[in-house]
Amino acid sequence: MLYHTQQEAAKNGFITRQMREAAQYEGIDAKILMDMVACGNAVIPANKNHKNLLPKAIGEKLKTKINVNIGISKDSSNQNEELKKAHLAIELGADAIMDLSTSGNTRAFRKALVDTTALLGSVPIYDALVFYKKSLKDINAKEWLDVVKMHAQDGIDFITIHAGLNRQTVQRFKNNKNRITNIVSRGGSLIFAWMEMTGNENPFFEYFDELLEICREYDVTLSLGDACRPGSINDASDACQIEELITLGELTKRAWAKDVQVIVEGPGHMPLNQIETNMKIQKSLCHGAPFYVLGPLVTDIAPGYDHITSAIGGALAAWHGAAFLCYVTPAEHLRLPNAEDMKDGIIASKIAAHAADIAKGVPNVIQWDNQMSEARQKVDWKSMFSIAIDPEKAKRYREESKPEHEDTCSMCGEFCSMRNMNKILNGENVNII
| Among positions 319, 325, 327, 328, the unique one binding a copy of itself when judged by CB under 8 A | 319
| Cα–Cα distance, 91 to 271 (Å, whole number) | 32
Binding string, 139-168, against a copy of itself, x = CB under 8 A? Answer: ------------------------------
Q: How far is the CB of 257 from a copy of itself (least distance, A)?
A: 32
Residue number with CB closer to a copy of itself (151 or 229): 229
Quick one: 132 exposed, middle or buried, by C-beta within 10 A (0-12, 13-18, 19+)?
middle
Pairing of strands 158-161, 291-294: unpaired
Q: How far is the CB of 240 from a copy of itself (least distance, A)?
A: 13
| Among positions 210, 285, 366, 380, the unique one binding a copy of itself when judged by CB under 8 A | 366
- Is 2 a binding residue for a copy of itself by CB under 8 A? The answer is no
- Is 401 a binding residue for a copy of itself by CB under 8 A? The answer is yes
| Cα–Cα distance, 79 to 104 (Å, whole number) | 9
Residue number with CB closer to a copy of itself (51 or 133): 133
Contact predicate 314/332, CB 8 Å: no
Residues within window 80-109 making contact with a copy of itself, judged by CB under 8 A: 102-103
- Is 197 a binding residue for a copy of itself by CB under 8 A? The answer is yes
Residue number with CB closer to a copy of itself (256 or 385): 385
| Among positions 97, 190, 212, 262, the unique one binding a copy of itself when judged by CB under 8 A | 190
Residues within window 234-253 making contact with a copy of itself, judged by CB under 8 A: 234-235
What size, in residues, is the chain? 433
Q: How far is the CB of 317 from a copy of itself (least distance, A)?
A: 11
| Among positions 271, 287, 380, 407, the unique one binding a copy of itself when judged by CB under 8 A | 271
Q: Taking contact as CB under 8 A, which single stretch among the options 14-22, 30-38, 246-254, 334-342 is the one that binds a copy of itself? A: 334-342
| Among positions 84, 253, 280, 393, the unique one binding a copy of itself when judged by CB under 8 A | 393
Binding string, 335-364, against a copy of itself, x = CB under 8 A? Answer: xxx---------xx--xx-xxx-xxx----
169 contact partners, CB below 8 Å, separation of at least 6: 227, 228, 240, 243, 244, 247
Q: How far is the CB of 41 from a copy of itself (least distance, A)?
A: 21
Residue number with CB closer to a copy of itself (83 or 366): 366
**DSSP character at residue 103:** S
Site residue total, a copy of itself (CB under 8 A):
115
DSSP symbols for 251-320: HHHHHHHTT--EEEEE--B--HHHHHHHHHHHHHHTTT--EEEE--BS-SS-TT-HHHHHHHHHHHHHHT
| Three-state secondary structure call for residue 160 | strand
Dihedral of CA 300/283/224/170: which sign? Answer: negative
Residues within window 24-83 making contact with a copy of itself, judged by CB under 8 A: 73-76
Q: Report which of 275, 243, 271 is spatially closest to residue 173, judged by C-alpha positions.
A: 243
- Is 181 a binding residue for a copy of itself by CB under 8 A? The answer is yes
- Is 309 a binding residue for a copy of itself by CB under 8 A? The answer is yes
271 contact partners, CB below 8 Å, separation of at least 6: 233, 236, 298, 299
| Cα–Cα distance, 424 to 419 (Å, whole number) | 9
Residues 197-235 as b or e (16 or more Cβ within 10 Å = b): eeeeebbbbebbeebbebbbebbbbbbbbbbbbbbbbeb
- Is 170 a binding residue for a copy of itself by CB under 8 A? The answer is no
Phi and psi, residue 419, nearest 5°:
-60, -45
- Is 126 a binding residue for a copy of itself by CB under 8 A? The answer is yes
Residue number with CB closer to a copy of itself (152 or 318): 318
- Is 233 a binding residue for a copy of itself by CB under 8 A? The answer is yes
Q: Report which of 257, 247, 258 is spatially closest to residue 219, judged by C-alpha positions.
A: 258
| Among positions 137, 167, 172, 258, the unique one binding a copy of itself when judged by CB under 8 A | 137
Q: How far is the CB of 187 from a copy of itself (least distance, A)?
A: 9
Residues 81-95 as b or e (16 or more Cβ within 10 Å = b): ebbebbbbbbebebb
Quick one: 356 exposed, middle or buried, by C-beta within 10 A (0-12, 13-18, 19+)?
buried
Contact predicate 67/324, CB 8 Å: yes
Q: How far is the CB of 396 from a copy of itself (least distance, A)?
A: 8
Q: Taking contact as CB under 8 A, which single stretch among the options 8-16, 39-47, 134-142, 162-170 is the one that binds a copy of itself? A: 134-142
- Is 394 a binding residue for a copy of itself by CB under 8 A? The answer is yes
Please state, as a whole number, how many other Cβ atoms lie within 10 Å of the Cβ of residue 44: 30
Residue number with CB closer to a copy of itself (204 or 208): 204
| Among positions 237, 299, 383, 386, the unique one binding a copy of itself when judged by CB under 8 A | 299
